Structure 1
Amino acid sequence: MPLSSFTIRDSENRKQSVEILHEDAHLLAVNKPPGLAVIPDHWDPEIPNLQALLEQKYEKLSGETGKPVKTVWVAHRIDADTSGVVLFARSAEMHRELNLLFEDGQVRKTYLAVTRGRPPAAEGAIELPLQPHPTRPQFMQVHKQGKPSLTHYRVAETFKHYALLEISPQTGRTHQIRVHLKEIRCPLAIDPLYGSGRPIDLSLFKRDYVKKDPFEENRPLISRLTLHAWRLQFRDPFAGEERTFEAPPPKDFTALLKALRRWDAA
């Protein structure tokens, strides 16, 4: 259960809930909703982002200058359209420690992914080097001169033409999960960059589906990346104990799974 939550509007002006999963003097764990960037946009810093919202929430003014004092540090990032657990440091000391943990691969990350198609085996590893594409900005590609990249996966459920995977990236390259899944011909069910960007609605599961109002717009079950940052595990350098933070998937992700299960049972 979250400790607390607050409501924001994302980049498309939709109401979203940001849940605080853990908070202490050094560490903050947040369940980020989809559609919200972790850090300010390079081209438009006014677009809502989680870092700015948390800085506002935990704002503290200096007793000497009256100016804001830094109270939140970004420890890592996930894509704006990916939901789930994100860690922030509440002190400069913790920020340094978390950076080291992530760099050394000491933070165990588990994602949930709904894919189009199934992997070649029930579980396995994808080890393919990645680098930025030379002519397509924000696009990553497999290349022999890229950085070593390793992703473990396990099939949790299978459906007609789709699958639910548990993904554990061992390295933290940009778009690593998305590119690796594409390379084994099992892309995310929705991924505008590396697969199909088409939203998923009820017409996919019901051949005879007819809207009650023919003039009403289709309401998709989900229209963003079918990827959720489910769990983070690491040893807290200040508390000296193992930490496990889990974020339940949001409504759009669970609605998709519910529809897939019904479709599979039909």
Structure 2
Amino acid sequence: SAFGQRNPIYRLGGGAGIGFDYAFGGRGLLGGVFGPTSLSFGYLASNAANPTKGAGLFNGDYAAMGQLTFTPGRNLQVALNYNHGYFNRGNFGFDNGLGNGPGSLGGFTGTGVANSINGLSDGFAGFGARKVVSNSYGAQASLRLNPRFILGGWAGLTNARILGVGDARIWNYAVTLALPDLGKEGNLLGFVVGREPYLDKLEAAGSLSSFRNDQSWHLEGFYKYQLTDNISVTPGVIWVTNPNQNRDNDDIIIGTLRTTFMF
């Protein structure tokens, strides 16, 4: 699933941009204390090719992000990240910068309440859509307990300001388990348990700050079977409880089947 791939704060913003990565190796203070270390920066603009006002590489939606990655041991890797974003009316969402306004598919991951900030960012709350400025903080880790048992996870916090309306807080977190080469080399059994981006707090005038916050959990399991060196088949199942942060909604169970060809 989109949620199971990586921390959703990476999905705030998308499009064309630039990035670089600098590896410290084991040198300096960071390398001496935390092992091989790298620092990455990136800048993405959702409408970089659009020359109109409020768009373009520097005048429209953008996301500026940085990541510091530590490798304190051969089997342990830890990363800290930050993402600062600006989103025009109706464009905020965990959707790689595609926009969450009317006619869109909504966020790739997370509740509808979180992706629309309770309808305030996209205009569904009864007045015009609003611009959003966000600051997101994340941490993730991966620990290889042995060659066939890898434990991982992440947590992400997004503080969003709906300009002229108020402030919101969005959380997400997950624990992952991977068992590579189960059955034969190239196979992978994986599990993901966590909460997709959900609106936790909203400070706005009057009834605008009222929303449901029932715990919605994402439970996922999949098994990648390597048919040949170039073809794999991955069946899986996803169970989402209390969809859209509302226990009145029926749970969603999704069966998946993916075939991957590699050339």
Task: Output the TM-score relative to the length of structure 1.
Answer: 0.24
Greater fraction of residues in helix? 1
When the two structures are superposed, what TM-score results if normalisation uses the length of structure 2? 0.24
Name the structure with the higher strand share: 2
